[in-house]
Chain A
Amino acid sequence: MYRYDNYDHQMLEDRIAQFRDQTARFLKGELAPTEFLPLRLQNGLYIQRLAPMLRIAVPYGMLSSTQLRKLAYISEYYDKGYGHFTTRQNIQFNWPALEDVPDILAHLAEVEMHAIQTSGNCIRNTSTDQFAGSAVDEIADSRPYCEIIRQWSTFHPEFAYLPRKFKIAVCGTSDDQAATQVHDIGLFIVRNEAGELGFRVLVGGGLGRTPVIGKAIREFLPEHELLTYLDAILRVYNREGRRDNKYKARIKILVKETGVDAFREKVEKEWQSLKGGPLRLTETEIERCKGFFHDPDYKTLPATSAALGEALARDVLFASWYQQNVDAHKRPGYAIVTICLKATGVAPGDVTTAQMNFIAELADRYSFNELRVSHEQNVILADVEQDALYEMWKALQSNQLSAANLGLLTDIICCPGGDFCALANAKSIPIAESIQRRFDNPQTLRDIGQVSVNISGCMNACGHHHVGNIGILGVDKKGAEFYQISLGGSAENTTSLGQIVGPSFAQDEVPDVIEKIINVYKRRREGEERFIDTFNRLGMAPFKEEVYGKTN
């Protein structure tokens, strides 16, 4: 994992001092609210329905056990005993007091964490695959590049006041798990014919009210030119992105209005003056960053574990958790474990103080003191010995963390919605719960198999509803909370945007509608088809008919 040196520490200290001063001036009335706004946003601080909300960056989803313990401490002393993992691999606290925030930031700095640029019209936290470094299908570990991007984007003096927020994702695996195609910039690590490493660059993806899948503007960007090219894209966007209308300010709109070819030309032109310049990455820097992500001290183990085999034969509950929540690891004898934070009745992505401390303990005991957060709002222990899985699962069970529903219908992505968010049209957490209650039977769930249900409380799409196989969007219908349902979205390699089924539904109708949709799938699926495959084959008609009844 990346470790700060004296420069990084100094940068963070200076930032805290700066924000402490800004907060003090704001509280004294010397800094107008409109002028304080972008400053606090760029320090992760929103003012929400109930209290301020502090969003803390988890750079590309990586956390050490020490950092998680610090988050647990903050949740206990400055919040109400829990935190919320977000779809951007960050963590949010819903109840801190404004005047405590500089102190919270000082606590975070002790463990090399911060809330910098987790909000506001700037370059946000870079996200990536939660299995990076341990995945079986990796072209290269994405994390060194994410760290390089993190440093470049942190306090970038030219790009702190962009037209709108800006999100970058990096994918280093052949199966994209980071929703890379719906980011402002999506970078796919590739090798060219000569075997050199580089990036395929997508630009102009995004969700929100106008969802767009990113378009390729470069098939191969040499590794060393990563930052010069990003600088060029950002400069074109900063100059030309629309500032007259907040809803048209994302880069996706600029790319659309300019045309992707013309946009590419602008970037290439800008790049000419940057390429090969001082911002070109040096071999030393790439190696330095890679050095932080070398393999941990893996043991040499047999490919299959006898202890695991026995446990699987003995304990069906364990076997079903294993089947669902454990993934293959690049090293023999190891496994990747996902702790699914989607137990019924708990807001998706929420963890309590005790659970955070417990997960930190598990990371120390079983996974080289590290863990990751996924954009599906789950927690991953990426380097667990197969021999230890049973014991670990037992421990998870006694801490209400053994939900065996990873990737299944109840592993719902869900934004905070109307319960917390001031922008919401409708609540989203109770919808997630009502669906989880309806599909409470593990056997039924496994029979339905892989399907993603994503819920957002408004068209800002924080819950990724556009790319859910089943997407649920809260809408306002004459002052009442209604839900619009879409089908066919996907955030995988074949990313697609969902299509709306039809008129929206009242809250209590939603579980019925989902059940009807699932029933069509169950009746019509062929062979090993997943929900999305069946939908793609059949199209919308049979689902629509089931939901609304036959129309002539």
Chain B
Amino acid sequence: MEKLIKNRSIVEDPWLLLKEVSEMSEIADKAAVPLIVPLAFWQENRQALKQRPGKTAVWLQSDELPASLGEDLHSFGLIALNFPVFSDGRVYSSARELRSNFMFKGELRAIGDVLRDQLFYMARCGFDAFALREDQNIDTALAAFDDFRDGYQVSVDKPEPLFRRREHVL
């Protein structure tokens, strides 16, 4: 099993990420394996996937909107958002939208070009799980979550902006 950072700890990842899959037959031998499948595949095979014995999660490309999950959104225990390249900032907005607008409470996982130096902002936007790019050092990467001790903005980890908390201090 791959390693993963979840809630700031290193854990074994029980999920299998399918970057590409087009036919149900391709996953016939994985009936009990928890799978993360592409959005389009989910949309086409919704009913069949719901009846699998194993759990199914979905991953979104950076240009796919969380709204496209529709009613299903809350049925997922995990949603993964893909960074095709680390500098694709759309994913941060998707994460915040999932957490703040859609109130998604399950695991929100960053996949793809996930690097140490972006973890802090990702966490602030609501990601709680990180499948780092292969070459990253997962042990030293943990320190990234403490890059800053606070932040000015409203974010998923700090629902009150600093200016409201400053008032409490005064």
Contact = CB atoms under 8 A, between A and B. Distances in A.
Central interface residue in B86, B121, B153, by most chain A CB within 10 Å: B153
A330 B48 CA distance: 74
Interface in B103-117: 115, 117
Contacts of B120: 157
B152 A152 contact: yes
Interface in B29-69: 65
A46 B161 CA distance: 31
A159 interface: yes
A10 interface: yes
A10 to B, nearest CB: 6
A278 B89 contact: no
A256 interface: no
Given A160-B121, A161-B92, A282-B164, A154 B100 contact: no
Interface string A51-91: 00000000000000000000000000000000000000000
Nearest to A35: B115
B147 A285 contact: no
A10 B160 contact: no
A38 B121 CA distance: 14
A15 B148 CA distance: 7
B117 A154 contact: no
A22 interface: yes
A15 B115 CA distance: 18
Interface string A264-296: 000000000100011101101100100000000
B160 A161 contact: no
Contact of A155 (B92, B96, B118, B151): B151
A7 B87 contact: no
A159 B87 CA distance: 11
B167 interface: yes
Contacts of B162: 7, 151
Interface string B138-170: 000000000111111111000111111011001
Central interface residue in A5, A11, A155, A163, by most chain B CB within 10 Å: A155
B88 interface: yes
A162 B89 CA distance: 6
A150 to B, nearest CB: 9
Nearest to B89: A161
Interface in A1-35: 5, 7, 10-11, 14-15, 17-18, 22, 31, 35
Interface stretch (A235-243, A370-378, A428-436): A235-243
Contacts of A35: 86, 115, 117
A35 B132 CA distance: 14
Contacts of A15: 148
Contact of B154 (A17, A154, A159, A277): A277
B125 interface: yes
B90 interface: yes
B154 A279 contact: yes
Interface residues of B, number: 38
Contact of A154 (B152, B155, B166, B167): B152
Contacts of B160: 278
A11 B150 contact: yes
Contacts of B170: 284
A39 B115 CA distance: 12
Contacts of B122: 157
Contacts of A231: 154
Contacts of B118: 161
A32 to B, nearest CB: 9
Nearest to B163: A285
A156 B125 CA distance: 10
B131 to A, nearest CB: 17
Given A18-B147, A155-B148, A285 B89 contact: no
Contacts of A273: 100-101
B163 A151 contact: yes
Contacts of A159: 89, 92
Central interface residue in B65, B87, B124, B125, by most chain A CB within 10 Å: B87
A238 B95 CA distance: 12
A243 B120 CA distance: 23
A158 B92 contact: yes
B31 to A, nearest CB: 37
A159 B90 CA distance: 9
B93 A238 contact: yes
Contact of B125 (A11, A155, A158): A158
Interface in A222-260: 227, 231, 235, 238-239, 243
Contacts of A158: 89, 92-93, 96, 121, 125, 153, 155
B125 to A, nearest CB: 5
A156 B166 CA distance: 18
Given A282-B164, A285-B163, A161 B153 contact: no
Given A156-B153, A158-B96, A278 B148 contact: no
Nearest to B166: A7
A454 to B, nearest CB: 32
B152 A161 contact: no
A231 B93 CA distance: 11
17 contacts: A11-B148, A14-B149, A148-B163, A151-B162, A152-B152, A155-B153, A157-B153, A158-B89, A158-B93, A158-B121, A161-B87, A231-B154, A278-B159, A278-B161, A281-B163, A284-B163, A288-B163
Interface of A: 5, 7, 10-11, 14-15, 17-18, 22, 31, 35, 38-39, 121, 148, 151-152, 154-163, 227, 231, 235, 238-239, 243, 273, 277-279, 281-282, 284-285, 288
Interface of B: 65, 86-90, 92-94, 96, 100-101, 115, 117-118, 120-122, 124-125, 147-155, 159-164, 166-167, 170
Given A238-B90, A282-B167, A284-B170, 10 more contacts: A5-B166, A11-B152, A155-B151, A157-B122, A158-B153, A159-B89, A238-B93, A278-B160, A279-B153, A285-B167
